[in-house]
Amino acid sequence: MKSALSVNAALDGLATLVGQDIALVGILRFEFEGTALDHFPKSERRNAEDDGPLEPSSVWLGVGSGALQFNEEQLRRWHGKRVTVLGTLLGPDEKLGGCGHFSAFPAEVLARSIERL
């Protein structure tokens, strides 16, 4: 696996990275209806545009429908901290135009592991 990418770098290369296993570094957001990885540093986060996603510098985090689930207690403690996420990068849903809650995110990562930095 290549070195870890920032969230913005992964989103910039989304067309070529979809379906690939990647490592992403960012700030964990673990909230009700807001499980995501935000770009770090915060000063480089992009603003939402009228015709784009509401969260242009974030990716939705999911674990799919298998037996793997988030350790919610651990992730609550890591909320707002820098983490590395290993997983498969997915593009936006064709029908909804985005990923995650309200399709607000331009991409999703099906996480296999999350480690605190």
Residue 1 pLDDT greater than 60, yes or no? no
Mean pLDDT, residues 7-21: 96
State the pTM of this model. Answer: 0.89
Alpha carbons 6 and 14: distance in angstroms, whole number: 12
Which DSSP state fits 81?
A: S
Q: Each residue of 22-78: pLDDT tens digit?
A: 999 999 999 988 899 999 999 999 998 887 788 999 999 988 766 667 888 999 999
Kindly report the number of other CB atoms within 10 A of residue 56's CB atom.
18
Alpha carbon distance 49, 43 (integer Å): 17
pLDDT in tens, 91-107: 987 777 788 888 899 99
**What's the pLDDT score for residue 67?**
60
Number of Cβ within a 10 Å radius of residue 114? 22
Distance (Å, rounded) from C-alpha 115 to C-alpha 25?
Answer: 10
Return the pLDDT at 38.
Answer: 97
What is the distance between the alpha carbons of residues 116 and 75, in angstroms, rounded to a whole number?
10
